[in-house]
Chains A and B, each alone.
Chain A
Amino acid sequence: MSVLETPRIVFRGNIAWDPIVTNNYFGLYDENSAETVLPHADDTWAQVQAFRAEAIDAVPPDPKKANQRNWDPQGTHRSVFYDLAAPDSASPDSAITDSAVSGVDLGSGTTADDPFVGAPARFSGKLVDLEPYGSYSSQLFFDTMTFGIDGGCRIAAKRRTRVTARYINLGRNPVFYIAGFASIVWQTSFLIEDLIVDAFDSPALQALQSALGQPGVIGLTVRWVNYRTVYYDCPELATDIALRTTTAQALVAKLRLNDAAGNGVWQPNPARSKMVGVIGLWREGEPLHEPGDRALLATSFPTQGPANPPCVATAFARLDGDSLTLDLGSSMPETGLDLTKQNWGPLEVVALDSSKPGGSVSLATIGYDEDTDPGCQAYYARPYYEADSGIVSLKVDGSSFSPDAPLQVSCPTGILLTEAPFRAVPLVPNLYLDETDSAEGIFQIYVNGVPGGGGTEVTVYGLDANDAVVSGPTAVTAGPDGRFAVDLPASPASVVSHVPLIGAGQPAPSGGLNPQVDTYMYVRRLPADAAVAALDPTWDNVYTRVLANWNAMAPCMDNWLDLHDPDQVRASAPAIKYLTDPANLEAFSYMPVTRDMTAGERTLLYKFLDSPSPGAAVNLGSEGPANRPATDRIRISRYMRSP
């Protein structure tokens, strides 16, 4: 739906990722207890130092497997759109340098002649996986997103909710290191009241402003796909196994510049990706966090390794009369480092209409490029992909087939994509709960990309991080509005993905959750930690049972606040309370960034912060010179995070 309508605006660029990944490892973090696994040592501070040293020890690849390990122990979780001041060595002929608006489509195809084109795209978020051991629950917490600058053509948007990752494609590119072979669909949406659109002389922004006044339009959706992720700023790691060790050792040497635990230095190691994206209308009933459009699901998947065999990944479509729009942003794999698209030959788009002779109607053909497939309506080779963010517009004869007929995309050697007419999409994709909470997970049925499907029978399974079934099958039936609820009763701390399968009596997903095919809702339950809450609020208890977790796991916090310094912690009480307040969970600056402080830990921490102070050496927050205006928590928050 939405972003596949016009007017729409496409952008492209680069995004950097700087997450701490130390919590991805069972030996270093316990996902269920939400605790850092500290090694044995004489005291907690010594444990923290030993843990930091272990995290650095875990950087070099296992020599037997040449695999990736803990590649960013001093990360910040920050993810930013960035510009390339110099050509990208990984793709020297890349058209993508700046993160900027790259085109507009007012209904006649993507063009670059609008004054808004070239406006910088600016975004800074924090990357957090709800389920740290997996790959399917990534989220970007942020406050604002802007395209353009103050005083110029721009869209400025305040966050309604985090950006959510879905439809992870584990076979996008066969020659990259760590998770560089994957592509991911990211999406969030903004309400009209949280938007500023300054159109000036931009016909595209003028059209968007006008469209925002249409009935049923409630805001804008931003969707992007990231791909070609490079680690250690070294694309050669994909093929040079020896280099993996030497680059990791070089990072370790930097991390150990002052001591084995990495104190006194800050050595982040951000990865970086290419991205293409789109901005479009958000209509009432459309999911804010993932595509609700018609889903053309992948029919085959890599089984031997990344993109081996190469496969075409799930796409999305919208049909408006004679206009069919396909979002192939995440779909078409590349052949390697130079980002050349795999040539599958011409792609035929058909409607599977059983009322028609032969049971299908050919709608259009998408060629590879104009040289190899002249005369096609659209193309999917790299230059076209980068120009229109992988969104293909086709003119079809809307009267020649039923609009409900499932769509299919095939190439000369077989079927690549087939529409699943019914999809069940959660209203909340990733949910944090305490173990004592009872809740419901609401799902909406979409039929051919439109909310509906009342009476649809659904089978729901709950899967743990290892894809083992921990709940279900649960049979549910959608109400008249196409919605159904999954009970989430109070239960012990855990991480569970709830997967709805259309139809009664469906077997559990074979091979576990498949993000290319399945929709899902992740639920993470944190321990109550009532025993921790009941502890005396001594510094020793607070540090040992609460703060040491992040003092060990997140050395970058040293840049802002020394979690091992009781005076600094106490002096920052107002800021800490604001930043750890569950009401601020969506905020960029929420602490801990990993969202894994338990209720009991919070209670103990607050008891300490509220207890009489023996005298703080440094005042960072609530008090200051006599004539200083009173501060509020927001100001303190900003103070804490501003560089």
Chain B
Amino acid sequence: MILLQSKPLETVEDACTRLQTAVELEFSTLPPYLYAKFSILPGANDRSASYLGDIVGQEMIHMCLACNIMNALGGDPKLVTPGTNPPFPPVFPGGLPGDIGPPGGEPIIVGLLCFSEAAAAQGMAIEQPVNPILFAAEGAPADDQTETIAQFYEKLDAFLSTLDPACWQKDRNQIDDSQYFTGQLYPINSYEDAHRAISQIISEGEGSTQSPLDFQNEVSHYYRFKEMFQNQVLTKSPNPPGYQWGPEAFGVDWNAVYPAIDNPTQHDFSQENPAARAAQAACNLAYSRLIDSLQLAVTGHQGQLGAAVRAMFELRKAAMAALTTPLNDGRVAGPSFLYTPTTGASS
């Protein structure tokens, strides 16, 4: 479970600081989720691949909505924050921005893991609510009260509700759904808009305390990962709380993945063949272009979102090339998601 440090929340500047954390956190989930998705062999694990794609899309939406809230309050979202610890953009394996772990404990170390039980468990850990709903066929006690991503957002929401309406700057650097994420991205011009966005983010990540479904009656992220982990479909049940695990199998085949190494950032590519090195370089270049274009897009250059999406497709193509380019030992490596500033961000 991600546990964020509670910080003062008394001014608009405090809110923007928290929103920057939200932006970093939402963005930082993308590389591990994408790595798991990319590593699935073509045509295998269809259900998991589809759901991972949905989750990645929703995390992108969450990040953009957090940027919209921040922009509406006069802040300037940053997708590159040099010198922070942990670094942002993140380097994997590593901690997620803002996560401090439980009292006396350690934050979660998130890695770039191939599609596996460990990757599903990692997704659950990132998305876990305070009190996951217990369904038939499991009996572990609920966790005690701690601050999760949802609580982080709820506290933010509570503070935003106290702001003077004049704090909200209409149409400042907003990204809407006119081109991408139809229906799901919208401008934030008021507290009501921000509240809707925060409710959406919480709902899609964790569901509610009563239901595993989000506000659109789809299974929320935590339970999606748990379906993969347990290889059981969360199924409607006549017994409280209304769902149970199985009996239908989710259809996971943990072996139907590329023979990819985990955490390619820890691999010494300088000793690899030129094709493998070139494949990694192509991945990192596309990833870096994605970030640089996104940075422009969330600071008032809307057209740059089109460049960022194109970079996302380039990253996908580069990742597929990397995953079919053997390393010296016959295994392969997915993208390392290493950022270096590009000079080619569209302008």
Q: Within 8 Å of chain B (Cβ to Cβ): is A530?
A: no
Q: A625 vs B325: C-alpha distance in the bound complex, in angstroms?
A: 7
Pick from B184, B219, B331: contact of A85, CB under 8 Å: B184
Q: How far is the CB of B228 from chain A (nearest CB, A)?
A: 12
A583: chain B residues within 8 A (beta carbon):
none
Q: Within 8 Å of chain B (Cβ to Cβ): is A491?
A: no
Question: Is the beta-carbon distance between A233 and B53 smaller than 8 angstroms?
Answer: no
A85: chain B residues within 8 A (beta carbon):
183-186, 196, 200
Q: A272 vs B177: C-alpha distance in the bound complex, in angstroms?
A: 11
Question: Is the beta-carbon distance between A266 and B309 smaller than 8 angstroms?
Answer: yes
Question: Is the beta-carbon distance between A267 and B306 smaller than 8 angstroms?
Answer: yes
Q: A407 vs B326: C-alpha distance in the bound complex, in angstroms?
A: 71
Question: Is the beta-carbon distance between A151 and B248 smaller than 8 angstroms?
Answer: yes
A639: chain B residues within 8 A (beta carbon):
42-43, 320
Q: Within 8 Å of chain A (Cβ to Cβ): is B110?
A: no
Which chain A residues (612-643) contact chain B, with CB distance < 8 Å?
Answer: 618-620, 623-629, 631-632, 634-639, 642-643
B313: chain A residues within 8 A (beta carbon):
266, 558-560
Q: Within 8 Å of chain A (Cβ to Cβ): is B117?
A: no
Question: Is the beta-carbon distance between A151 and B193 smaller than 8 angstroms?
Answer: no
Q: Within 8 Å of chain B (Cβ to Cβ): is A421?
A: no
Q: How far is the CB of B208 from chain A (nearest CB, A)?
A: 15
Q: Within 8 Å of chain A (Cβ to Cβ): is B216?
A: yes
Query: Given A120-B216, A625-B331, A638-B42, A153–B236 Cβ distance below 8 Å?
Result: yes
Q: How far is the CB of B219 from chain A (nearest CB, A)?
A: 6
Q: How far is the CB of B283 from chain A (nearest CB, A)?
A: 13
Question: CB-defined interface of B155-187 with A at 8 Å, one 1/0 digit per residue?
Answer: 000000000000000000000111110111110
Which chain B residues (317-347) contact chain A, with CB distance < 8 Å?
Answer: 317, 320-321, 324-326, 330-332, 346
Question: Is the beta-carbon distance between A82 and B183 smaller than 8 angstroms?
Answer: yes
Q: How far is the CB of B129 from chain A (nearest CB, A)?
A: 19
Question: Is the beta-carbon distance between B243 and A151 smaller than 8 angstroms?
Answer: yes
Q: Within 8 Å of chain A (Cβ to Cβ): is B107?
A: no
Pick from A80, A254, A264: contact of B302, CB under 8 Å: A254
Q: Which residue of A lies closest to B320 (CB)?
A: A620
Question: Is the beta-carbon distance between A82 and B303 smaller than 8 angstroms?
Answer: no
Q: How far is the CB of A152 from chain B (nearest CB, A)?
A: 5
Question: Is the beta-carbon distance between B41 and A628 smaller than 8 angstroms?
Answer: yes
Query: Given A149-B217, A625-B326, A643-B53, A265–B303 Cβ distance below 8 Å?
Result: yes
Pick from A201, A265, A269: contact of B310, CB under 8 Å: A265
A559: chain B residues within 8 A (beta carbon):
310, 313
Question: Is the beta-carbon distance between A619 and B178 smaller than 8 angstroms?
Answer: no
Question: Is the beta-carbon distance between A233 and B177 smaller than 8 angstroms?
Answer: yes
Query: Given A149-B219, A253-B303, A83–B346 Cβ distance below 8 Å?
Result: no
Q: How far is the CB of A114 from chain B (nearest CB, A)?
A: 13
Question: Is the beta-carbon distance between B236 and A201 smaller than 8 angstroms?
Answer: yes
Q: Which residue of A lies closest to B251 (CB)?
A: A150
Q: Within 8 Å of chain B (Cβ to Cβ): is A125?
A: no
Q: A118 vs B236: C-alpha distance in the bound complex, in angstroms?
A: 15
A118: chain B residues within 8 A (beta carbon):
217
Q: Within 8 Å of chain A (Cβ to Cβ): is B49?
A: yes
Question: Is the beta-carbon distance between A620 and B183 smaller than 8 angstroms?
Answer: no
Q: How far is the CB of A1 from chain B (nearest CB, A)?
A: 31
A120: chain B residues within 8 A (beta carbon):
216-218
Q: How far is the CB of A381 from chain B (nearest CB, A)?
A: 26
Q: How far is the CB of A260 from chain B (nearest CB, A)?
A: 14
Pick from B47, B196, B216, B307: contact of A86, CB under 8 Å: B196
Q: A353 vs B330: C-alpha distance in the bound complex, in angstroms?
A: 82
Question: Is the beta-carbon distance between B182 and A270 smaller than 8 angstroms?
Answer: yes
Q: A179 vs B216: C-alpha distance in the bound complex, in angstroms?
A: 30
Q: How far is the CB of B327 from chain A (nearest CB, A)?
A: 9
| Category for how many chain B residues contact A | 35 or more
Q: Which residue of B lies closest to A627 (CB)?
A: B259
Q: How far is the CB of B53 from chain A (nearest CB, A)?
A: 5
Question: Is the beta-carbon distance between B193 and A86 smaller than 8 angstroms?
Answer: yes
Pick from B217, B219, B306: contact of A265, CB under 8 Å: B306
Question: Is the beta-carbon distance between B219 and A98 smaller than 8 angstroms?
Answer: no
Q: Within 8 Å of chain A (Cβ to Cβ): is B238?
A: yes
Query: Given A85-B196, A86-B186, A267–B330 Cβ distance below 8 Å?
Result: no
Q: How far is the CB of A78 from chain B (nearest CB, A)?
A: 10
Q: A72 vs B135: C-alpha distance in the bound complex, in angstroms?
A: 47
A257: chain B residues within 8 A (beta carbon):
303-304, 306-307, 346
Q: A620 vs B238: C-alpha distance in the bound complex, in angstroms?
A: 47
Q: Which residue of A lies closest to B232 (CB)?
A: A151
Q: A559 vs B47: C-alpha distance in the bound complex, in angstroms?
A: 23
B182: chain A residues within 8 A (beta carbon):
14, 16, 80, 82, 270, 272
B219: chain A residues within 8 A (beta carbon):
149, 151
Q: Within 8 Å of chain B (Cβ to Cβ): is A239?
A: no
Question: Is the beta-carbon distance between B216 and A83 smaller than 8 angstroms?
Answer: yes
Q: How far is the CB of A124 from chain B (nearest CB, A)?
A: 11
Query: Given A151-B248, A200-B236, A266-B310, A83–B256 Cβ distance below 8 Å?
Result: no
Q: Within 8 Å of chain B (Cβ to Cβ): is A385?
A: no
Question: Is the beta-carbon distance between A618 and B321 smaller than 8 angstroms?
Answer: yes
Which chain B residues (112-164) contact chain A, with CB distance < 8 Å?
Answer: none
Q: A199 vs B227: C-alpha distance in the bound complex, in angstroms?
A: 21
Pick from A82, A200, A233, A264: contact of B307, CB under 8 Å: A264
Q: How far is the CB of B322 from chain A (nearest CB, A)?
A: 10
Q: Which residue of A lies closest to B177 (CB)?
A: A233
Q: How far is the CB of A112 from chain B (nearest CB, A)?
A: 14
Question: Is the beta-carbon distance between A631 and B42 smaller than 8 angstroms?
Answer: yes
Q: Within 8 Å of chain B (Cβ to Cβ): is A232?
A: yes
Question: Is the beta-carbon distance between B53 and A270 smaller than 8 angstroms?
Answer: no
Question: Is the beta-carbon distance between A638 and B316 smaller than 8 angstroms?
Answer: no
Question: Is the beta-carbon distance between A643 and B196 smaller than 8 angstroms?
Answer: no
Question: Is the beta-carbon distance between B321 and A620 smaller than 8 angstroms?
Answer: yes
B66: chain A residues within 8 A (beta carbon):
none
A310: chain B residues within 8 A (beta carbon):
none
Q: Which residue of A lies closest to B193 (CB)?
A: A86
Q: Within 8 Å of chain A (Cβ to Cβ): is B80?
A: no
Which chain B residues (214-257) contact chain A, with CB distance < 8 Å?
Answer: 216-219, 233-236, 238, 243, 248, 256
Question: CB-defined interface of A453-465 with B at 8 Å, one 1/0 digit per residue?
Answer: 0000000000000
Q: Within 8 Å of chain B (Cβ to Cβ): is A367?
A: no
Q: Within 8 Å of chain A (Cβ to Cβ): is B106?
A: no
4 shortest interchain CB distances as A-B pairs: A635-B43, A639-B42, A254-B303, A233-B178
Binding site for B on A (CB under 8 A): 14, 16, 80, 82-86, 98, 100, 118-120, 149-153, 200-201, 232-233, 253-254, 257-258, 264-270, 272, 558-560, 618-620, 623-629, 631-632, 634-639, 642-643
Taking A120-B217, A625-B258 as known contacts, 6 extra A-B pairs with beta carbons closer than 8 A to each other, sorted by chain A number, are: A82-B184, A118-B217, A151-B243, A200-B236, A558-B310, A635-B43
Binding site for A on B (CB under 8 A): 41-44, 46-47, 49-50, 53, 57, 176-180, 182-186, 193, 196, 200, 216-219, 233-236, 238, 243, 248, 256, 258-259, 302-304, 306-307, 309-310, 313, 316-317, 320-321, 324-326, 330-332, 346
